[in-house]
Amino acid sequence: MAQAAFTPEPTPQHGEPSFDVLRWHDEPWTAQLALDLLPETNGPKVEVLSGSVIVTPHAGIDHQSVERELPYLLHRAARRAGLWVYPEINLVSGKDLFIPDIAVLRSSGGGRSAIDIEQAVLLGEIVSPGNRRKDVIDRPREYAAAAVPFFLRVDLRNRVPAMALYELVEGEYRPLAAAAAGTTFVMRQPFEFSVDPAELLDEEAPTEEPDTGE
């Protein structure tokens, strides 16, 4: 019986960035390796934590609605304080690579592919049902360890948006301001900003009336 010809595994090439490298690179990953070897994408988030690449698909539409509205509103307020706001930027923290939902920076990120976490004044996460532990526990802990002064959380549980701002005090985030839909969220630090969280979420699509043929 004829045997199938032996086909060696391809050797990774350091040419154009490609996700194929995830199949062959068996050493611990770093933020810089990911930025060098993996392609830029508007699709899933590609982050690095403790030597591993973490790929996360886009969250639900409610999440995207908030991520469309809130950074825009925050940026307009932040510019008056000399700060800059961006959604989903590459943020390097040592060997780790984070992509927070919202980042408030001390300086413009224009022209750059990644920013050091030391430039972050505030980082925000929009809590997704599938990543609740990450957004509520893990990421705040990691951002606190990197000494990011403020953390903002937006929770969409049961489609009732709520916002909470935390300030870093002695290595831990402590509540500073909070509000739910129908009330006004007000923060004074790191810049003045207010919004009713209900304004961040699109209404559900109206139910179509059945076609009666009339």
pLDDT tens digits, residue range 119-152? 999 999 999 776 777 777 789 999 999 999 999 9
The yes-or-no verdict on residue 114 having pLDDT over 70 is yes
Q: Among positive and negative, which fits the CA dihedral 41, 113, 201, 152? A: positive
DSSP string spanning 2-59? PPPPP-PPPPP-SSS--TTHHHH--SPP-HHHHHHHSPP-SSSEEEEETTEEEEE---
The yes-or-no verdict on residue 8 having pLDDT over 80 is no
> Amino acid letter at 58?
H
**What pLDDT does residue 2 have?**
47
96, 48 contact by CB (below 8 A): yes
As given in the structure block, the two tokens for residue 42 are 């508007």
CA distance to 75, 188, 206, per residue, from 213 (Å): 49, 57, 20
The yes-or-no verdict on residue 170 having pLDDT over 60 is yes
How many CB atoms sit inside 10 A of residue 164's CB?
Answer: 17
The yes-or-no verdict on residue 106 having pLDDT over 90 is yes
**What pLDDT does residue 129 have?**
73
HEC sequence for 66-121: HHHHHHHHHHHHHHCCCCEEEECCCEEECCEEECCCEEEECCCCCCCCCEEHHHEE
Segments of the chain assigned to CATH 3.90.1570.10: 61-199
Confidence of residue 209 (pLDDT cuts 50, 70, 90): low
Strand order in the sheet with 96-98: 52-56, 45-49, 96-98, 91-93, 115-116
Q: Give the CATH fold of the 61-199 domain.
A: tt1808, chain A (3.90.1570)
Q: Is 164 helix (H, G, I), strand (E, B) or coil?
A: strand
